Amino acid sequence: MREIDKDPVYISILNIIHRYGKAYPDTIASKLGMTRQAIDYRLKRLVEEGYIEKRYNRRVYYVLTESGLKILSGVTDLVPDTERHTKGLSILKYVPILGISMGIITLGQFIALGDMLRGVVGFVSWTIIGFIAYYYLTKKIG
């Protein structure tokens, strides 16, 4: 097997194209949480290797070739469920924001009551809780 056959990112790209029948570069980039440039580079390599074909119908899209299907059939146990996995990781980035938001609400409530010190302590506490939750969940999920 070549290096490209074992790389999980390439396998994930092939999996996405297989799942949808055809896939646009923007869709692949969003599903994997990668930049469009990084995906374009990998798609170019997959086309060069003969695993996918580039087609046009007002927009560029990609479809699997027989070689691409053979790669996927050979590593079906290694193909991750990219959509579920990346969706969980993309939602995690909002956990610290939630903690900061709760801190701002707490700060506002205590300022309204005239107790600035308790408001600042509440803000700092919620912010720390948000970041601790983020790191805990990334270790647990990712």
Residue length of the chain? 142
Amino acid occupying residue 116:
M
Task: Measure CA 44 to chain center.
Answer: 21
Contact 91, 107 (CB under 8 A): no
Q: Which two tokens stand for residue 75?
A: 């590593």
Q: How far is residue 22's CA from residue 89's CA, in Å, rounded to a whole number?
A: 24
Q: What is the pLDDT of residue 79?
A: 43
The separation between the first and the last C-alpha atoms of the chain, rounded to the nearest angstrom, is: 27
Q: What is the pLDDT of residue 57?
A: 86
Q: What is the mean pLDDT of the chain?
A: 85
Contact 22, 62 (CB under 8 A): yes
Give the tens place of pLDDT for each residue, 49-99: 999 999 998 899 999 999 888 888 775 444 445 555 555 556 777 888 999
Position of tokens 């939630």?
98
Q: How far is residue 23's CA from residue 25's CA, in Å, rounded to a whole number?
A: 7
Q: What is the pLDDT of residue 5?
A: 72
